[in-house]
Amino acid sequence: MYRKMWNLLRRDEGMVTSEYAMGIIAAVGFAAVLYAVVTSGEVSAELQDIVKRALSARV
């Protein structure tokens, strides 16, 4: 009896809609911050420099 009740209480069938919404909001917020960092002048210049060095490297 105890085990059956415990299994019923612990049953997890996935996230509810509000949890999905919060996850999506967090992901969009993280993407916005990442976009802002990557498109900033300093980071953009560094990324361009890395790509230029990689393309001009001799094999």
Q: What is the pLDDT of residue 11?
A: 64
pTM of the entire predicted model: 0.53
Q: Where are the domains of the chain?
A: 14-56
Q: Which residues contact 44 (CB under 8 A, 6 or more apart)?
A: 38
Residues 1-25 have pLDDT tens digits of 677 776 666 666 666 788 889 999 9
Largest alpha-carbon pair distance within the chain? 72
Q: What is the pLDDT of residue 15?
A: 65
Average pLDDT, the chain: 84
Residue pointed to by tokens 């612990």: 10
